[in-house]
Amino acid sequence: MGTMLDGLIETREAGGVWECEVSLLDFDLDKARDARECLFGYGGGLGVDRPLFDQRGWPEDSCQEVPKSLTDELNHSHSYATWAEIAAIDWDAPVSDRPHWCYVGEWRPGPDGELVLEDVVWRTDELLDAAEKLFGDGCYPHEWPPGGEVPLNGAVYRPVVLTAGIVVPPDDNKWAPVWASMRALAAEYGDENVRLVVWFG
Nearest to 152 by CA among 187, 195, 104, 80: 104
CA 83 – CA 179 distance, rounded (Å): 8
List the pLDDT tens digit at each of the 201 positions of the chain.
Answer: 568 899 999 999 989 999 999 999 999 887 778 999 999 999 878 899 999 999 999 999 999 999 988 777 788 999 999 999 999 999 999 999 999 999 999 999 999 999 999 999 999 999 999 999 999 987 899 999 999 999 999 999 999 999 999 999 988 888 999 999 999 999 999 999 999 999 998
Backbone φ and ψ of 109, nearest 5°: -60, 135
Start-to-end CA distance of the chain, whole Å, equals 10
Three-state DSSP at 124 gives: coil
Q: What is the model's pTM?
A: 0.88
Q: What is the largest CA-CA distance in the chain?
A: 66
Nearest residue to 38 (alpha-carbon basis) of 76, 87, 91: 91
Interatomic CA distance for residues 133 and 197, integer angstroms: 48
